[in-house]
Structure 1
Amino acid sequence: MAPHNLPLDHTLEPEAQAFVADNFESALEVLSDLVAIPGIAWPAFDPQQLEISAKTVAALFEELDFFDWVKVTRSNKPNGEAGSPAVLARRSAKNGKPHVLLYAHHDVQPPGEESLWETPPFTATRVGDRLFGRGASDDKSGIVTHLYAIKTLQQLSSDPDLGVTLFIEGEEEAGSESFDSFLEDNLEELQADLIIVADSGNWTEDTAALTTSLRGVVSQTFTIKTLDHAVHSGMFGGPLPDATTVMIKLLATLVDDQGNVAVAGLHSVPVADLPYDLETFRKQAGLLGGVSPLGSKSLLQHTWGEPAVTVIGLDTPAVATSSNTAQPQVTARVSLRIAPGEDPTYALGRLREHLEKNVLFGAKIEFGHAEQGPGYLAREGWASEAAHEIFSRVWPKPSVNFGIGGSIPFIATFAERFPEAQILVTGVEEPDSRAHSPNESQHLPTLQRAMVSEALLLLHGNRLGK
C-alpha cells in the first residue's frame, strides 16, 4: 500500500539546516576516516581492507542506537564464491508509518596511476571547498549522507516511527556479482515503500537532480588470432596479417566516420532537453583544444539516450618492452553502453555479430568473458514530487530530472524485485567530482545540502501514514 502523501512541513527546515551545519566538521572527520580505508573488491587487492571497511561502517550505524540490529553479512556470487561484505541494518516501522531503504556502497575503485594524483589517493585532503581522495565522493559521501540524515531525524524527532533499512554494499565497483542473491537472501528485510539510492550525481554544484534514466551496459572480451607463433616483423612483414593490425581494423569498425556507434540493430530513446553546450562538455570531460566530440546528435542525446562504445582494454606489448615482432594474437575488451530500456542480452548478441562480420583476412575471433546489466527509466510519484520540492528549497537553483550515461544495473533489479516501491536515485557527485578518475573529490557544499535534503525526506516520511 502506498503512503498517503501530505504537504511538506517547511517549519523543520531551519532546524535541519542548523543541525547539519553544526555537525558538518564531525561528518568530514568520519568521511576522512572512511577514505583512508582502501576497500577494493577486485581480485588483485587485499580483501581484508573490505572487511575493515564494512566493520567500520557497521560501527558508525551501531553507535546511533537507532536500528533494531546492525550486521555485516555476505551472499554468494553465481559461481558459489562468497561476495564482499555488506552492512545491513533494520529498524521496524511503527504506528502504520512507511518504510525507507537507504542504499550506498563502501567499496571504491582502484586508485589507478598514483603519479596522476595531486594528493595521496587514500588520505583525505581538503583544498578549498573540496575534499580529495578515492571514494571521497563515490560513494563514501553517500554513506555519510545516510548517517547524518538519520542523526538529524533523531534530533528533530526523538522517537521516530518511520521504518528504515540500511544496505551498504561492498562490491558495487566490481559489478555487484552477489547483488541478486543478496536480495533473495534478505528479501523480507529489504522490503520498503521508498528506496533512496545515494550513488549518483547532480546537474551542477548549484542544481540538485534526480537521476531518472541510466544506460545499460555490455562488455565483451575477445581475442584475435592470425598466427600460431610470433615472427620477425621484417622477415615476414608485408603479406603477413599480424593480429594487432587485424584488431585495430576491427575496432575501427565500431563507429562510423562521424563517431556514431555502427553496431546494427541498437536503439535509442529521447532525453530531457537541458541547457548544455560544447564548452561545458569540453571543460568537464577534459577534451583538448581542437578535438571534436563524436556523433551527429546533441551532446546530451548522445550521452544519455544513445549507445556508446569504448575500447577499455587492449593486451599488446607495451611500447617500453616492444620488439620487432609480429604478434600472433591480441586481446581487447570493449564496453558498450546501451540506451535505457534496451535488452542487454540482445545488445550483446548484436555486438558479437558485428565483430564476427567485420573481422578481416579470415582471422580467428574467440569470445571470452562478457558482462551485461540493464538500464533504468524512473516513474514519477509522491516521493519524487517531495524530493524536488525539498531540493529546490535547499539548493540555490530549482532541481531537475536528468539522465546519466553510466550504468547502475542493480537499480533495475530493485525496480523488478520491489515493483510497488518508489525509487529515488540521488547522490553527492557533481560535474567535477571525477569519480573513478585520479583526483576524485567531494564538493563540500553539495554534501552538506545532500545531508539536509535527505534528512527532510526522512522527516517527511515520518509524518506519512499508509
Structure 2
Amino acid sequence: MTDTEKHRPDAGSQAPATDPALLEALREHVHGALPTTIADLSALVRIPSVSWSAFDPAHVERSAEAVADLVRSTGVFDEVRVVRSAVEGDTPIDGGSTAADAELGQPAVLAVRPARNGRPTVMLYAHHDVQPQGDDALWETPPFEPTLRGDRLYGRGASDDKAGVMTHVAALRAVHAQFGDDLDVGIVLFVEGEEEFGSRSFRTFLREQREHLAADVIVVADSDNWSTEVPAITVSLRGNTTFKLTVTTLEHASHSGMYGGAAPDAMMPMVRLLASLHDDDGAVAVAGLSAHDAPVPERSEDEFAAEAALVDGARPVGSGPVLSRMWFQPSITVTGLDVPSVANASNTLLPTVAARVSVRVAPGQPATEAFAAVEAHLRSHVPFGARIEITEVDTGDGFLVDASGWAVQEARTAMSEGWGAAPVEQGIGGSIPFVSDLAAEFPEAQILVTGVEDPDTRAHSPNESQHLGVLHRAVLSEAVLLARLQGRA
C-alpha cells in the first residue's frame, strides 16, 4: 500500500463497468486528440481574459468568441450562443429607465442539445475568465504565453479554468466521434465569463435561461484532485464573506512626536481588532462561527507544511486535524491593508486605516449568518472608542454534496476507468458560491464538482500550471461519463 493510499479516504460505491470496446474506443480518441486539445488550450491561455472591471473587457469578449468556436467544433450542437445578462440588483445606469440600460455582466457561452429517447440531460459548467496575473516579476514564464515545461503547461488560466473548458470540449469531441447523430443524452454547455469577478450576473442568467439550463446532472469542472495520479470528487465547499473594514480615530493626520503616546492613531486599534479574530493558536475566535463535523483523511502537519511551502520554523495554525481546518472549519484572512508603504512612511499618526477581510465559512452555515457573527465580534471589540465602518459586503454559501445519488456512482466508475484509480471524496477549503445558486435553482439536479487542478497547480498565484496527464485523464473520465449517460434510460 502506498503512502497516498494510506492517507486518502475510501471511495464510495460504483456503478457497473463500462463496455470494454466502448471504453477502448474513447481511450484511443482522447489520446489521439490530445495534441489538438493542448494546442486549443494554449490558444485560450494567450487571451488575457481578466474579468475584473479595471481590465479591458474586449479580451473577455474575444475569449468568449474563441470558446464558442471551439464548442461549435465539437459537432454536438446546432446553435452556440454568446449571451450576456444584467448584473443582479443593478439599477439602470446614466439615468436610464429600462432594463436595457442596466449594466451587463461579462459574456457567457451557452449551447444546448435536447435529450432524446428518455435519456438524462447533463449540464457541463466551466468558466473562461481568469484572475489578474499579479506581479509579472514573480512569474518564471510570461503569464499569457503558454509555456510547456516537462509535463506542465504554464500560464494564467492554463488550469483555472480554461483546462476545465477544454475538458468539456475534448470530451464532447470524443463522444460525438463515437455516437455521431445517435447521441441521445441531453447536453447543456454553460461557460461563464465572470466567475473570477463574483459571478455578478449568474443568478440573472439562471433565471433568464432556466428553460435551457434545466438538467438531471450538473458537472462543475472547477475544482482539484487528490494528486496527479488520483482523482477526486469534491463533496463539500466552504462558503465565504468578504468586506472592507475602516477604522477612524482622528479628524486629520497629526505629528507623531507631538501627539504620539496620547492620541490613538488608527493603526493601533486596527491591529488589535484584527488580532482579536484569532486565539493564541491561530484558530478563529469569533463566537457564532460554526464548524462542520465530518471525518477527514490523515495528513500530518509536516506533510502540510511542505505542501503549503511554509518557511523553516513556521508552523500550521489552528487546532484539530489539518484537513478539517481547511475543509470544515472557518478561517479569517486579511487580504489587503490600506496604509502608507514603508518607503513612503512619515512620522505621522494615521487618522484612518482600511482592511479587506475574507472569511471562509464552514459548509452548512449560511454565509449571512457568519457575517453577522463577525460583524458583532468586531463591533464589540473596538478599542479606544475608535469609529469603525463595515462596507462592501459580499457573501456566498458553501455546499455539501449528496454523495448517495446515482450520478455520483456513475462518476466514480467513469473516473476509476479514466484514471486507473478510484476517486477520493474530498472537501475543498475554497469557495464556489454559485454552486449553491445552482442547487437552489435546480433542486432536483445532482451536482458533481470535479476539476483538472492538482496540489501543484497554483491557481490564482504566479506560475499557475496545468499537469497534462491530469488533463488527459480528466477528458477521458468525462467522455466515459457522457457515454455511460448515453446508455442510461
What's the TM-score once normalised by structure 2's chain length?
Answer: 0.93
Aligned twin of 1:418 = 442
- Structure 1 consecutive aligned stretches of length 4 or more whose deviation exceeds 6 Å: none
Aligned twin of 1:104 = 126
Which of 276, 299, 311 is 2:334 aligned to? 311
Aligned twin of 1:189 = 212
Q: Is the 8 A contact 1:271 1:304 kept in 2?
A: no
Q: Where do 5+ consecutive residues of structure 2 fail to align?
A: 1-14, 91-101
- State the alpha-carbon separation in 1 of the partners of residues 231 and 302 from structure 2: 21
Aligned twin of 2:179 = 157
Q: Secondary structure at the match of 1:82?
A: coil
1:366-423 per-residue CA deviation (whole Å, 9 max, x = no partner) reads: 1110000000000121111111122223324321100000000111111111111111
Aligned twin of 1:258 = 281
Aligned twin of 1:37 = 47
1:242-273 per-residue CA deviation (whole Å, 9 max, x = no partner) reads: 00111111100010001110110111112342
Look up the equivalent residue of 1:36 and give its one-letter code.
R
Look up the equivalent residue of 1:302 and give its one-letter code.
R
Give the 3 Å change call, closer, same or farther, for CA 268–10 of structure 1 in structure 2: farther
Aligned twin of 2:170 = 148
Look up the equivalent residue of 2:172 and give its one-letter code.
I
Matches within 5 A, 1:190-205: 190-205=213-228
Give the 3 Å change call, closer, same or farther, for CA 332–135 of structure 1 in structure 2: same
Aligned twin of 1:86 = 108
Look up the equivalent residue of 2:477 and give its one-letter code.
S
1:317-359 per-residue CA deviation (whole Å, 9 max, x = no partner) reads: 1112111111100011111111101011111111111111111
Q: Secondary structure at the match of 1:397?
A: coil
Which of 71, 74, 77 is 1:64 aligned to? 74
- State the alpha-carbon separation in 2 of the partners of residues 120 and 310 from structure 1: 29
Aligned twin of 2:345 = 322
- State the alpha-carbon separation in 1 of the partners of residues 136 and 295 from structure 2: 37
Aligned twin of 1:124 = 146
Aligned twin of 1:268 = 291
Counting aligned pairs with the same residue, the percent is 49
Kindly state the Cα deviation for residue 199 of structure 1 after the two structures are TM-superposed. 0.4
Look up the equivalent residue of 1:415 and give its one-letter code.
A
Q: Secondary structure at the match of 2:110?
A: strand
Matches within 5 A, 1:320-399: 320-380=343-403, 381-399=405-423
Question: Which shifted more, 429-438 or 150-159?
Answer: 150-159
Q: RMSD across aligned C-alpha pairs, in angstroms?
A: 1.2
2:232 is aligned with 1:222? no
Look up the equivalent residue of 1:72 and give its one-letter code.
V
Aligned length: 461
Q: Is the 8 A contact 2:51 2:193 kept in 1?
A: yes
Q: Is the 8 A contact 2:80 2:112 kept in 1?
A: yes
Aligned twin of 1:405 = 429
- State the alpha-carbon separation in 1 of the partners of residues 162 and 295 from structure 2: 29
Q: Is the 8 A contact 1:35 1:140 kept in 2?
A: yes
Look up the equivalent residue of 1:221 and give its one-letter code.
K
Q: Secondary structure at the match of 2:390?
A: strand
Q: Secondary structure at the match of 2:423?
A: strand
Q: Is the 8 A contact 1:271 1:403 kept in 2?
A: no
Question: Which shifted more, 120-129 or 150-159?
Answer: 150-159
Kindly state the Cα deviation for residue 64 of structure 1 after the two structures are TM-superposed. 2.5
- State the alpha-carbon separation in 1 of the partners of residues 457 and 17 from structure 2: 34
Q: Is the 8 A contact 1:9 1:460 kept in 2?
A: no
Question: Which shifted more, 10-19 or 213-222?
Answer: 10-19
Q: Secondary structure at the match of 1:290?
A: coil
Q: Is the 8 A contact 1:314 1:330 kept in 2?
A: yes
- State the alpha-carbon separation in 2 of the partners of residues 411 and 8 from structure 1: 29
1:170-209 per-residue CA deviation (whole Å, 9 max, x = no partner) reads: 0001111111100000000000011111000101111100
Which of 229, 234, 237 is 1:206 aligned to? 229
Q: Secondary structure at the match of 1:289?
A: coil
Q: Is the 8 A contact 1:344 1:372 kept in 2?
A: yes
Q: Is the 8 A contact 2:75 2:173 kept in 1?
A: no
- State the alpha-carbon separation in 1 of the partners of residues 352 and 433 from structure 2: 32
